Amino acid sequence: MDYKQAYESWIADPAIDEATKTELRKIAGNEKEIEDRFYRTLEFGTGGLRGVLGAGTNRMNIYTVRSATQGLANYILKSDDYKPGMGVAIAHDCRRMSPEFSTEAALVLNANGIKTYTFESLRPTPLLSFAVRHLGCVSGIVVTASHNPPEYNGYKAYWADGAQCASPRDEDIIAEVSKVTDFGMVKTMARDEAIAKGLFNIAPPEVDDEFLKNVKAQCLNAEIIPASDLKIVFTPLHGAGNVSTQRALREVGFKNVFVVPEQEKPDGNFPTVSYPNPEDKAAFELALKLAKEKDADIIIATDPDCDRVGVAVKNIKNSGRSGDYYMFNGNQIGVLLAEYIVTQRQAKGKLPANGIIVSTIVSTGMTRAICEANGLAYTEVLTGFKYIGEKIKEFEAEKSYKYVFGFEESYGYLAGTHARDKDAVVASLIICEAAAYYRTQGLSLIEVLDAAYKKYGFFRESTVSITLKGVDGVANIGRIMAALRSSPPKSLDGAKITKISDYKNRTVTDTASGDVKAAVLPVSDVLHYTVAGGSWACVRPSGTEPKIKLYFGAKLPGTATDADMTAKLDAMTAEFQAIVDGVLG
């Protein structure tokens, strides 16, 4: 069925409601719009669903959500992990249609005889991860599009361990979702009937309390907090992090917490920001204004589903950094958290002999240096926190390592194992505790970071995202990846590329000898280049947005200057960008 036929079938389908049909009739004659809405079925990928809201097969709507949930239900009922009476926990964020999609997903599961636990209002993603295990569920769902623009929504699936579904489970679920080819195959039921049958349940309030109890248990110097005069500005960016993050900070004893009033209430239209992403400096505009008014020491911003956090701190004299406040990037936050957690645990005799830190192949190499210097193991996984969650489960099952900390460069962090996904609540708490602790030592977080560079080496990273939308965009992303595989670069910024890891073809090639080994990480459309001297580059299509992402990591001696590092990263970026531009013409 081509896109025109799919469009006509939706208008004719008696299962489609009139409001949806009216929306579709309004685009009659707009071939480009019809094609974009119907040229494919919104893919249920390894991270679930994510797309623009609206009517059509390539959109997020109640029909695509129901179909995906029917596929998940079919998988659950076939799984050996499922026992009668086990449920599915479902949470949602602030986005448009999130409550409706959450309810629709629950009712499809209920119609298949599967109990559900939904929350009465929005909740952070890490709380859902915690709830899955706390409630003894077989699976979990979060309705969110994370930090995407307001026109998006999405759907992430979790398994009984509280982590997002990893291989081969994710592929098996995708296969079941793909079998749901007709709305007539989807079961649903009325909410009142589901409640009467004990299938549709509201998650008990104790889930929130127990989650926060576990978050607060990650504090390492809790005794210094009540006396701290640290001033904190916090913004949830209209999202799900407001209540839990404020509670965590307040309950451990932080007194001076100022919330950005314009961004405190949930609002899926994100009226004060163009892009609700704590990676984006523009998202800090109102928080910076309040911070200057309050003379705040630190600013914390969580994304709409509260699994990512951005941090800025008051600048200090002679730091070499411009502005009243300095915004850390995702790798710098990860390094600060890792350094604090490792050194404080070590000082208190709480660092396990078999401790390990987990990060990703596109995150800073500085984490490895921290681990090597402090006697910890270190391992890398593919991009996506589900792989870190998978490692936690593996460590526990094999009794091999004790998980200490994990993070990815895209502002996602997890201290503790209460959740199996990145947790902006615990990250916000620990970074504030670290700021308060170092303050008692006469140090700012900027000084701590600079000292770490001198101690471990100067590492810095950058990311370039190239947006390529629509049918042509998908084709161009494929062209770029194919060209890089057929004609790989031999050097970058004058240094030889010594190793090429192709995770799609599961190969690791030594460029000097030509030897090829099997890659140990799962299959993924990713190319990673190791550069002589400790630098690296990586390219991969985004799994959630119409983008291809270029990552760069540079290493210089700890005595190098900021200008030296900027020049090196700029040269690496320009050289690789030219290769991509050459493919696109």
- With CA atoms as reference, report the closest residue to 123 among 109, 147, 142, 150: 142
Residues with catalytic roles: 146
DSSP letter assigned to residue 43 = P
Contact 558, 453 (CB under 8 A): yes
Contact 278, 310 (CB under 8 A): yes
Torsion, Cα 339 340 343 345, to 10 degrees, reads: -130
CA 371 vs. chain centroid, Å, equals: 23
Ramachandran region of residue 354, left (φ > 0), alpha (ψ -120 to 50) or beta? Answer: alpha
Q: Measure the CA–CA gap between 266 and 63, rounded to whole angstroms.
A: 25
Q: Measure the CA–CA gap between 428 and 430, rounded to whole angstroms.
A: 6
- With CA atoms as reference, report the closest residue to 90 among 14, 186, 203: 203
Q: Measure the CA–CA gap between 415 and 418, rounded to whole angstroms.
A: 9
Cα distances from 225 to residues 194, 260, 449, in angstroms, run 46, 22, 21
Q: Measure the CA–CA gap between 242 and 208, rounded to whole angstroms.
A: 13
Torsion, Cα 276 329 359 307, to 10 degrees, reads: -20
Q: Measure the CA–CA gap between 487 and 442, rounded to whole angstroms.
A: 53
Ramachandran region of residue 295, left (φ > 0), alpha (ψ -120 to 50) or beta? Answer: left
Question: Positive or negative, the Cα torsion across 337, 339, 340, 346?
Answer: positive
DSSP letter assigned to residue 53 = B
SS3 297: coil
Q: Which residues contact 265 (CB under 8 A, 6 or more apart)?
A: 238, 242
| Residue 492, strand partner residues | 495
Residues 422, 425, 431, CA angle at the centre, nearest 5°? 95
Torsion, Cα 334 145 115 68, to 10 degrees, reads: -120
Contact 98, 128 (CB under 8 A): no
Ramachandran region of residue 149, left (φ > 0), alpha (ψ -120 to 50) or beta? Answer: beta
Q: Measure the CA–CA gap between 280 and 401, rounded to whole angstroms.
A: 35
Residues 107, 112, 117, CA angle at the centre, nearest 5°? 45
Look up residue 478 and give its two tokens: 């494929």
Q: Which residues contact 525 (CB under 8 A, 6 or more apart)?
A: 481, 503, 504, 540, 541
**377-381/355-360 β-pairing:** parallel
DSSP conformation letters of 397-418:
HHT--EEEEEEETTTEEEESSS
